[in-house]
A and B are shown apart, each in its own frame.
Chain A
Amino acid sequence: QVQLQQSGAELAKPGSSVKISCKASGYTFTSYDISWIKQTTGQGLEYIGYINTGSGGTYYNEKFKGKATLTVDKSSSTAFMQLSSLTPEDTAVYYCARGSGSWGQGVMVTVSS
């Protein structure tokens, strides 16, 4: 069955970067895009963007351009999202998703000094 296993929680300092992962299994990795979604209590669910896992092509929500960088490693069926220049507003749970139906378990990123 389709599974998306995300990396563990992150605690980061303001101004730093984090890179979280999303390892896919149960299907042909390069046949589906991987999307990334941010969830906060205040802003709800926000769409960050997606990566074409075959070509590496990306789409970013304008709001997250310069904040998020999406990459893939086809050899390990893993998608990555790097968040840079972190501020407390980046504190959130981040999900990866394949299409509409399969989501990872989420990664809590906490930005605090």
Chain B
Amino acid sequence: DVLMTQTPVSLPVSLGGQVSISCRSSQSLVHSDGNTYLHWYLQKPGQSPQLLIYRVSNRFSGVPDRFSGSGSGTDFTLKISRVEPEDLGVYYCLQSTHFPLTFGSGTKLEIK
């Protein structure tokens, strides 16, 4: 299985600040079709994970442009700028290039 290593585990931030979350995979996430199936989710307390970014850098419908994704191969980053209270929760990366799909272990974004 592809191991997804997500760092940091916890990320204190000041409202209005900027943060980055890293996700590294144990093997390349470039699919044979040329796409890279790396996605980012936010799980707020008591809710299901919600999709933020799909295929590395594409914002899902309704996701503000404060969220951006980048990376390639095995190394990916989610950047959040101008952090707002609604951004707090646990962020996960997910790879769906290889079966079984695998998730990162999560990064908890909390107020400093």
Contacts and interface: CB of A to CB of B under 8 A. Distances in A.
Interface residues of B, number: 19
B108 to A, nearest CB: 12
Main secondary structure of the interface of B (DSSP, over half): loop
Interface in A13-61: 35, 44-47, 49, 59, 61
Contact of A45 (B47, B60, B61, B103): B103
B54 A101 contact: yes
16 contacts: A44-B106, A45-B92, A45-B103, A59-B99, A61-B99, A61-B100, A95-B49, A100-B94, A100-B96, A101-B60, A101-B61, A103-B50, A104-B48, A105-B47, A105-B48, A106-B48
A95 B22 CA distance: 25
A47 B50 contact: no
B103 A46 contact: yes
A46 B4 CA distance: 12
